[in-house]
């Protein structure tokens, strides 16, 4: 059986599943339950300076649901821990003492001056924690006070604070990044320049989950008003995957370890982050939705997958997909596919037809007895029919073999590789002359 | 146990009131809002959806389900009522397993169709509970139309005509309107006086006058109706019941199933309704099932449904058959009655097994019976009607009969299946054609 143990910037944990800094890791009680449930590590909810902050006394969370009220996305306007610093430190120490094999990371957020950072780092070191995570990501509330994403959106600040922290502690320093930026590579590079041992991403995405159409107020609504919150859960995973990939495929920062965060709900999500180069993953919304027990499925699923792929450890999977993330201009224009409908699997709902006929290329025909067929002369292989079909694998994209003529273009399919950079329609093409 | 529970003969009070109430409660209880949301989410919103084509009234099912899913069941109800003003009753009595739900692509995908019938009921119940009638009558046209029969066909026709501004008089032979909705459907399918409430709700459109207790051929003739109105619609249903044609058919205890069901539906107190201990129902349609199941629910100990062909030829759907058997009804197939034995009252019915093509096998058996319900079909009753075809009034697609100015629809007309929903479609379509003819 594959070994799930990981060593992330020197921090060991029995599996790559950490709980992210968030409500589930705010208290000793919760964290003990998490470790009992099998989580490999936790990032303790962000500590700050006393007097501790206060939270709203109305709803903290908003939600977006799919069918059957499946929670697809959640946002929150909760701030960092609202308990005294000393209480948290004592609890961290007690838990770490009782669970020495688990990773204990402490998330931190103090004002942008070296002195408080140096002071709190010493306090954390005394707990025996394994490392710290700098919260430069929180997009609501704290950012209004010049912390959280207000730091994470300015690469110079990231680099400065990271440098202070590295200078003031022997613990590994992980910098947590906000996705609320135009180019995630810039803050990652700043963390790297400041000496960060790793980055973790993504923090939550600025969001309003909905509008109360009776109150005309954003949700979650507090006394008729709402503030933007941080969006998380399955809905943000694609954003997070891309940002992780962007960092990992960039030469200067590609070797910077990444802790992947953002919508990890199943072992499969975790495996995807790992494949894109994350050394481990952090989870929050899935635990908040289903409880800590979900880690059992993540452990069994990842273990089975690694075994099936004949990989001995998590390390064998990390980064396997990175070389395949390329620029659009590098995609093979000679790769020609067509939609194929499995008539035995088809349940004749006609959604592929409606989608193609109304919004795409009129490449699916419908007979009076509801047989749906692809017209190769019109099919551009856009994949929309695959995406809207309710039956998995009923419609697939099948490659035309070399030598065959594509009825849409009239061109013979070639087996060599050619991309936009050499295409005759590209004014900047570097044609082989 | 009630003292009458095991006693022979046709007698009341076999079960206590709580058992009766339990047996006759809503067979498909209404969906809660949460259940409706979950059920509605399963709809794929198919293109040119097969369920629509499978509905005789062609309700836009994907649209109304999407309207439920998005929290507007009132709009969903209007979508339904635009096509089928008796959508509330059809949601309760349609054999959806052979219509919309059979066509549902999720039936193909996982043998578990979207619960279209129950969702339709959820939507229509919501709007009717608010006592909202979603249509307004057009300006009066001054045209007068006679509708004969206040059953599904007549009501649908009358409503559509009234909506278009015509004045409608409905002549109905019974004491109460509703036709088979009121008199001919198992009580557990339409509880709490729904048929009556539905008619009252439908009449809110205005412009419809009901003349109850007025039978065609007895109190009024077709010629008189033609003379006094701009058009006539016949939705009389099938007034006569087929006989077995056997010796002993007139013995006490041998009854028409439709009469039993009508009496049950109108009974104030089910405990006072007499029922046999050993009941035999002859027939294989919905009426036979409704009679057999209700006999069981009244406390009959042994109820046997006997049908002359195989199960697959029964007019009652497989789901209806299963409903009967789970309620304790025994179904015997490929047997025809050959004699009714007894001395004054029926004691036994003798049957002979037959091949699928009804060839006698010579093998006979007897069933003990103190009550026998005949449910082998109904036929058109009355004279001086328009020309008939296969025993029913011949009609065009638009419901026109052989007589100028006279349309027909529902069970009395030679159109589609004898279903409530088919009657509604025919009544509605005839109204459209009458309107077109009168406003040309």
pLDDT one-digit tens code per residue, B203-229: 999 999 999 999 999 999 999 999 999
Question: Could A68 and B105 be called an inter-chain contact, meaning their C-beta atoms sit closer than 8 Å?
Answer: no
Last residue of a domain, one of A273, A293, A324: A324
Can you tell me the mean pLDDT for A38-53? 97
Can you tell me the mean pLDDT for A367-377? 97
Same domain, yes or no: A375 and A392: yes
Question: Could A347 and B108 be called an inter-chain contact, meaning their C-beta atoms sit closer than 8 Å?
Answer: yes
Residue A430 located in a structural domain: no
Closest by CA position to A287, among listed A12, A14, A17: A17
Question: Could B45 and A348 be called an inter-chain contact, meaning their C-beta atoms sit closer than 8 Å?
Answer: no
Residue B284 located in a structural domain: yes
CA distance A388 to chain B (A): 10
Catalytic residues of A: 138
CA distance B114 to chain A (A): 13
Same domain, yes or no: A319 and A359: no
Same domain, yes or no: A28 and A149: yes
Same domain, yes or no: B165 and B255: no
Can you tell me the mean pLDDT for B293-322? 96
Query: Nearest by CB to B44, which of A349, A366, A370?
Result: A349
| Confidence at residue B4, expressed as pLDDT on a 0 to 100 scale | 80
pLDDT in tens, B261-278: 999 999 999 999 999 999
Same domain, yes or no: A250 and A110: yes
Residue A266 located in a structural domain: yes
Last residue of a domain, one of A324, A347, A367: A324
* Average per-residue pLDDT for chain A: 96
Residue A93 located in a structural domain: yes
Residue B5 banded pLDDT, cuts 50, 70, 90: confident
> Which residue, among A347, A355, A365, A385, would best test binding to B if mutated, counting the most B CBs under 10 Å from its CB?
A347
Q: Which residues of A316-355 are buried (b: 16+ CB within 10 A; e: fewer)?
A: ebbbebbeebeeeeeeeeeebbbbbbeeeebbbbbbbbbb
Closest by CA position to A5, among listed A404, A412, A316, A338: A316
Cβ contacts of A68 on chain B, cutoff 8 Å? 37-38, 41
Residue B320 located in a structural domain: yes
Q: Which residues constitute the domain of residue A97?
A: 6-324
Question: Could B48 and A350 be called an inter-chain contact, meaning their C-beta atoms sit closer than 8 Å?
Answer: yes
All residues at 6 or more sequence positions from B144 whose CB lies less than 8 Å from its CB, including other chains: B166, B167, B168, B169, B228, B229, B230
| Confidence at residue B18, expressed as pLDDT on a 0 to 100 scale | 93
- Decide if pLDDT at A247 tops 60: yes
Contact A77, A220 (CB under 8 A): yes
| Confidence at residue A233, expressed as pLDDT on a 0 to 100 scale | 98
Percent of chain B with pLDDT over 70: 99
For chain A, say whether B63 makes contact (Cβ under 8 Å): no
Residue A194 located in a structural domain: yes
| Confidence at residue B269, expressed as pLDDT on a 0 to 100 scale | 94
For residue A343, what is the domain's CATH number? Answer: 3.30.70.20
pLDDT in tens, B92-119: 999 999 999 999 999 999 999 999 999 9
> Which residue, among A70, A214, A349, A372, would best test binding to B if mutated, counting the most B CBs under 10 Å from its CB?
A349
Question: Could B46 and A349 be called an inter-chain contact, meaning their C-beta atoms sit closer than 8 Å?
Answer: yes
Count of A-B CB contacts under 8 Å:
36
Residue A68 banded pLDDT, cuts 50, 70, 90: confident
Residue A62 located in a structural domain: yes
C-alpha span between A95 and A235 (Å, rounded): 32
Residue A338 located in a structural domain: yes
Question: Based on the structure, what is the number of domains in chain A?
Answer: 2
Q: Is A412 helix (H, G, I), strand (E, B) or coil?
A: strand
| Confidence at residue A432, expressed as pLDDT on a 0 to 100 scale | 52
| Confidence at residue B278, expressed as pLDDT on a 0 to 100 scale | 97
Residue A428 located in a structural domain: no
Q: Which residues of B204-235 are buried (b: 16+ CB within 10 A; e: fewer)?
A: ebebbebbeebbbbeebebeebbeebbbbbbb
Query: Nearest by CB to B47, which of A67, A354, A391?
Result: A354
- Residues of chain A whose beta carbon is less than 8 angstroms from a beta carbon of chain B are 67-69, 347-351, 353-354, 366, 370, 390-391
Residue B244 banded pLDDT, cuts 50, 70, 90: very high
Can you tell me the mean pLDDT for B21-26? 95
Last residue of a domain, one of B129, B164, B183: B129
Query: Nearest by CB to A348, which of B41, B45, B50?
Result: B50
Same domain, yes or no: B125 and B168: no
Residue B134 located in a structural domain: no
| Confidence at residue B241, expressed as pLDDT on a 0 to 100 scale | 93
Question: Could A347 and B38 be called an inter-chain contact, meaning their C-beta atoms sit closer than 8 Å?
Answer: no
- Written as six digits, the tokens of A284 are 């929050």
pLDDT in tens, A90-123: 999 999 999 999 999 999 999 999 999 999 999 9
Cβ contacts of A351 on chain B, cutoff 8 Å? 44-47
If contacts are CB pairs under 8 Å, which of residues 21-40 in chain B contact chain A? Answer: 37-38
Percent of chain A with pLDDT over 90: 94
Percent of chain A with pLDDT over 70: 99
- Written as six digits, the tokens of B23 are 């047996």
- Decide if pLDDT at B172 tops 60: yes
Same domain, yes or no: B99 and B164: no
Same domain, yes or no: B270 and B341: yes
Same domain, yes or no: A24 and A54: yes
* Torsion angle of C-alpha atoms B282, B285, B287, B292, degrees rounded to 10: 50
For chain A, say whether B109 makes contact (Cβ under 8 Å): yes
Question: Could A67 and B41 be called an inter-chain contact, meaning their C-beta atoms sit closer than 8 Å?
Answer: yes
- How many helices (H) and strands (E) would you count in chain B? 17, 17
pLDDT in tens, A303-348: 999 999 999 999 999 999 999 999 999 999 999 999 999 999 999 9
Residue B383 banded pLDDT, cuts 50, 70, 90: confident
C-alpha span between B170 and B180 (Å, rounded): 15
Same domain, yes or no: B293 and B205: no
Same domain, yes or no: B372 and B394: no
Same domain, yes or no: A229 and A341: no
* Average per-residue pLDDT for chain B: 96
Last residue of a domain, one of B83, B101, B129: B129
> Residue B413's beta-bridge partner residues?
B393
Query: Nearest by CB to A68, which of B38, B50, B109?
Result: B38
If contacts are CB pairs under 8 Å, which of residues 66-95 in chain B contact chain A? Answer: none
For residue B88, what is the domain's CATH number? Answer: 1.10.1060.10
For chain A, say whether B45 makes contact (Cβ under 8 Å): yes
Question: Based on the structure, what is the number of domains in chain B?
Answer: 3
Same domain, yes or no: B330 and B210: no
Last residue of a domain, one of A293, A324, A355: A324
Residue B384 banded pLDDT, cuts 50, 70, 90: confident
Same domain, yes or no: A21 and A77: yes
Can you tell me the mean pLDDT for B185-192? 94
Residue B136 located in a structural domain: no
Neighbours of A310 (CB within 10 A): 8
For chain A, say whether B389 makes contact (Cβ under 8 Å): no
CA distance B315 to chain A (A): 26
- Written as six digits, the tokens of B72 are 């507007």
- Decide if pLDDT at A69 tops 90: no
For residue B317, what is the domain's CATH number? Answer: 3.50.50.60
Can you tell me the mean pLDDT for A231-242? 98
Question: Could A351 and B46 be called an inter-chain contact, meaning their C-beta atoms sit closer than 8 Å?
Answer: yes
Question: Could B38 and A354 be called an inter-chain contact, meaning their C-beta atoms sit closer than 8 Å?
Answer: no
For chain A, say whether B365 makes contact (Cβ under 8 Å): no
Same domain, yes or no: B414 and B397: yes
Can you tell me the mean pLDDT for B40-66? 97
Same domain, yes or no: B230 and B268: no
Q: Which residues constitute the domain of residue B413?
A: 144-239+380-438
Same domain, yes or no: B323 and B247: yes
Same domain, yes or no: A379 and A298: no
Give Cα B137 distance to the centre of its chain. Answer: 28
Residue B3 located in a structural domain: no
Last residue of a domain, one of B129, B157, B179: B129
Same domain, yes or no: A234 and A193: yes
- How much is the ipTM here? 0.85
Query: Nearest by CB to B47, which of A69, A350, A391?
Result: A350
For residue A42, what is the domain's CATH number? Answer: 3.20.20.70
Same domain, yes or no: A255 and A153: yes
Same domain, yes or no: A290 and A337: no
Residue A289 located in a structural domain: yes
| Confidence at residue B2, expressed as pLDDT on a 0 to 100 scale | 64
Can you tell me the mean pLDDT for B350-373? 97
C-alpha span between B49 and B150 (Å, rounded): 32
| Confidence at residue B323, expressed as pLDDT on a 0 to 100 scale | 96
| Confidence at residue A431, expressed as pLDDT on a 0 to 100 scale | 54
Same domain, yes or no: B275 and B294: yes
Same domain, yes or no: B214 and B257: no
CA nearest to A358 within chain B: B47
Contact B352, B375 (CB under 8 A): no
Same domain, yes or no: A355 and A403: yes
Query: Nearest by CB to B50, which of A67, A370, A391?
Result: A370
Residue B19 located in a structural domain: no
C-alpha span between A354 and A387 (Å, rounded): 13
């Amino acid at each position: 059986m594959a070994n799930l143990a990981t060593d992330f910037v020197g921090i060991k944990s029995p599996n790559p599943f950490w709980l992210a800094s968030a409500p589930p890791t705010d208290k000793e009680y919760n964290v003990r339950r998490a470790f009992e449930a099998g989580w490999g590590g936790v990032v303790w909810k962000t500590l700050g300076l006393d007097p501790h902050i206060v939270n709203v006394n109305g709803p903290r969370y908003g939600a977006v649901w799919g069918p059957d009220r499946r929670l697809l996305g959640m946002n929150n306007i909760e701030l960092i821990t609202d308990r005294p610093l000393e209480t948290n430190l004592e609890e961290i120490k007690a838990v770490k003492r009782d669970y020495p094999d688990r990773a204990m990371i402490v998330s931190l957020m103090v004002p942008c001056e070296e002195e408080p950072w140096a002071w709190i780092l010493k306090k954390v070191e005394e707990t025996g924690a394994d490392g710290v995570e700098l919260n430069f990501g929180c997009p609501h509330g704290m950012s209004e006070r010049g912390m959280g994403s207000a730091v994470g959106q300015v690469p110079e600040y990231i680099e400065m604070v990271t440098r202070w922290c590295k200078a003031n502690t022997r613990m590994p320093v992980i910098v947590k990044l906000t996705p609320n930026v135009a180019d995630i590579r810039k803050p990652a590079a700043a963390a790297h320049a400041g000496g960060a041992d790793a980055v973790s991403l993504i923090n939550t995405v600025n969001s309003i989950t909905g509008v109360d159409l009776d109150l005309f107020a954003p949700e979650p609504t507090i006394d008729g008003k709402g503030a933007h919150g941080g969006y998380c859960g399955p809905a943000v995973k694609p954003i997070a995957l891309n940002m992780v990939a962007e960092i990992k495929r960039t030469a200067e920062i590609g070797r910077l370890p990444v802790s992947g965060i953002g919508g990890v709900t199943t072992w499969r999500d975790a495996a995807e982050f790992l494949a894109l180069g994350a050394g481990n993953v952090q989870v929050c919304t899935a635990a908040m939705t289903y409880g800590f027990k979900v880690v059992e499925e993540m452990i069994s699923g990842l273990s089975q997958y690694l075994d099936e792929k004949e990989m001995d450890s998590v390390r064998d999977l990390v980064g396997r997909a990175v070389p395949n993330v390329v620029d659009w201009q590098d995609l093979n224009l000679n790769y020609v596919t067509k939609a194929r409908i499995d008539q035995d699997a088809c349940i004749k709902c006609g959604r592929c037809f409606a989608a193609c006929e109304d919004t795409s290329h009129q490449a699916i025909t419908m007979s009076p007895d509801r047989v749906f067929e692809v017209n190769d002369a019109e099919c551009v292989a856009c994949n929309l029919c695959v995406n809207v079909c309710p039956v998995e694998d009923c419609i697939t994209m099948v490659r035309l073999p070399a030598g065959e003529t594509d009825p849409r273009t009239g061109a013979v399919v070639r087996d060599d590789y050619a991309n936009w950079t050499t295409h005759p329609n590209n004014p900047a093409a570097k044609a082989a002359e | 146990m009630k003292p009458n529970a095991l006693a022979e003969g046709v007698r009341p009070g076999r079960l206590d009131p709580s058992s009766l109430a339990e047996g006759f409660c809503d067979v498909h209880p209404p969906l809660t809002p949460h259940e409706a949301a979950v059920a509605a989410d399963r709809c794929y919103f198919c293109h040119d959806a097969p369920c629509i084509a499978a509905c005789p009234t062609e309700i836009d099912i994907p649209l109304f389900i999407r309207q439920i899913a998005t929290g507007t069941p009132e709009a969903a109800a209007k979508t339904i009522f635009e096509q089928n003003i008796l959508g509330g009753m059809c949601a309760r009595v349609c054999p959806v397993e052979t219509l919309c739900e059979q066509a549902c692509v999720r039936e193909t995908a996982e043998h578990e169709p979207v619960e279209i019938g129950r969702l339709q009921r959820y939507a229509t119940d919501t709007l009717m509970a608010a006592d909202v009638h979603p249509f307004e009558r057009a300006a009066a046209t001054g045209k007068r139309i006679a509708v004969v029969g206040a059953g599904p066909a007549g009501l649908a026709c009358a409503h559509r005509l009234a909506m278009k501004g015509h004045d409608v008089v409905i002549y109905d032979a019974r004491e109460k309107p509703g036709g088979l909705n009121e008199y001919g459907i198992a009580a557990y399918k339409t509880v709490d006086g729904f048929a009556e409430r539905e008619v009252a709700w439908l009449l809110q459109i205005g412009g419809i006058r009901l003349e109850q207790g007025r039978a065609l051929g007895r109190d009024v003739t077709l010629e008189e109706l033609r003379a006094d109105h701009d058009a006539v619609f016949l939705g009389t249903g099938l007034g006569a019941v087929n006989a077995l044609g056997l010796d002993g058919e007139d013995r006490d205890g041998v009854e028409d199933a439709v009469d039993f069901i009508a009496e049950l539906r109108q009974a104030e107190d089910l405990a006072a309704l007499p029922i046999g201990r050993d009941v035999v129902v002859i027939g294989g349609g919905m009426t036979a099932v409704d009679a057999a199941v209700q006999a069981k629910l009244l406390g009959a100990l042994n109820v046997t449904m006997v049908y002359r062909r195989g199960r697959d030829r029964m007019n009652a759907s497989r789901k209806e058959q299963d409903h009967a058997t789970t309620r304790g009804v025994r179904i015997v197939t490929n047997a025809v009655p050959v004699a009714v034995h007894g001395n004054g009252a029926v004691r036994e019915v003798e049957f002979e097994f037959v091949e699928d093509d009804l060839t006698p096998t010579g093998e006979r058996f007897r069933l003990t019976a103190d009550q026998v319900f005949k449910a082998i079909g109904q036929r058109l009753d009355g004279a001086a009607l328009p020309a008939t075809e296969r025993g029913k009034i011949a009609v065009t697609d638009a419901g026109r009969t052989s007589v100028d100015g006279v349309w027909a629809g529902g069970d009395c007309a030679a159109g589609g299946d004898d279903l409530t929903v088919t009657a509604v479609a025919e009544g509605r379509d005839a109204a459209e054609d009458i309107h077109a003819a009168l406003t040309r």
